[in-house]
Copies of this chain bind each other. A is one copy, B any other.
Amino acid sequence: MLRKRERPGVEITEITGDAGRLPRQTEKNTAGVAIAAFLRHIGSDQGVAVTLHKKMPLGSGLGSSAASAVAGVFAINQLMGNPLSPADLLPFAMEGERLACGSAHADNVAPSLLGGFVVIRSYQPLDIIRIPTPDRLYCTLVHPQIEVNTKDARHILKKEISLQKTITQMGNVAGLIAGLMQADYALIGRSLVDVIVEPVRAILIPGFGEVKVAALGAGALGCSISGSGPSMFALSSDADTAAGVGAAMQARFAHLRIESEVYVSGINRVGPVVME
């Protein structure tokens, strides 16, 4: 929640739900940094008090740092009378990611801000493509109670990829885009295959292979790592299947004595909204 105040500057006045783990200084908080970048851009010295109600697990691969940054820029844009379009807010939200993981990437802030599936075609210049989302598509997210640091998960990636794997993965990317745009669920499933990043990062998630098998066995179209992990996601073509997939994944983690939280949801197509 944002409130205008007389004294210039962005101040984080309260954070709840983070067990005291998030930094309170504006310049070390992803929402604070994003809001300050926005205000600099529009040339405003408006004072702002920020209250952050964190309702997502941290370090989960669910994009919690991005969620704060996006909420921040969306709210400050509203507060200032919407001078910018949602897409124009992206660079400021990306500043939050620069703080959180060392690079101003848009992997999480672009879909958070715009809703639905997006492709980041290019950063120089920034070129974000919105991909139409099939009507029936449900996401299961399972967050096991283990923590993976985003920076670590980036560091273990190989810097060189074989030409063969690159070709395979380009085929999967093309298939996924075509599948989404044609609402071809079988094609979405066949294309939800990651031969580059998943095999490396899966090592950091105990039981990854078994849990994935459980998800597919319960009817998921596909299953992989959410962000840099340890959360895993699965897509299903109906809500009941998505719930069953979540139960199956959670049971498999439980078998390995790993507690987990399950979230099942349709695809948000609109990005953030003002709640009151």
A interface with B by C-beta (< 8 Å)? 119-122, 127, 129, 131, 157-163, 166, 168-178, 181-182, 187, 190-191, 196
Partner of A121, one of B159, B162, B172: B172
Would you give 14 A-B contacts (Cβ < 8 Å), ordered by A? A119-B174, A121-B191, A122-B171, A127-B171, A127-B175, A127-B190, A131-B174, A131-B178, A160-B160, A160-B163, A161-B163, A169-B170, A173-B173, A173-B174
Residues of B within 8 A of A159 (CB): 162-163
Distance (whole angstroms) from the CB of A246 to the closest CB of chain B? 28
| Contact assessment for A178 and B177 in the assembled complex, using a CB-CB cutoff below 8 Å | yes
Distance (whole angstroms) from the CB of A6 to the closest CB of chain B? 45
| Contact assessment for B122 and A187 in the assembled complex, using a CB-CB cutoff below 8 Å | no
Distance (whole angstroms) from the CB of A78 to the closest CB of chain B? 30
Which residue of chain B lies nearest to A184 when distances are taken between CB atoms in the complex?
Answer: B129
Q: Which secondary structure characterizes the binding site on chain A?
A: helix
Provide the bound-state CA to CA distance between A182 and B180, in Å.
Answer: 13
Residues of B within 8 A of A166 (CB): 161, 166, 169, 196
| Contact assessment for B174 and A174 in the assembled complex, using a CB-CB cutoff below 8 Å | yes
Report if A119-B171 is in contact (Cβ < 8 Å); known contacts: A178-B129, A187-B129. Answer: yes
Residues of B within 8 A of A173 (CB): 170, 173-174, 177
Which residue of chain B lies nearest to A168 when distances are taken between CB atoms in the complex?
Answer: B122
Provide the bound-state CA to CA distance between A171 and B129, in Å.
Answer: 10
Distance (whole angstroms) from the CB of A27 to the closest CB of chain B? 29
Residues of B within 8 A of A187 (CB): 129
Provide the bound-state CA to CA distance between A131 and B179, in Å.
Answer: 10
Residues of B within 8 A of A160 (CB): 160-163
Residues of B within 8 A of A120 (CB): 171
Residues of B within 8 A of A163 (CB): 157-161, 196
Residues of B within 8 A of A178 (CB): 119, 129, 131, 177, 181
Residues of B within 8 A of A121 (CB): 171-172, 174-175, 190-191
Report if A119-B175 is in contact (Cβ < 8 Å); known contacts: A127-B190, A166-B169, A181-B181. Answer: yes
Which residue of chain B lies nearest to A174 when distances are taken between CB atoms in the complex?
Answer: B119
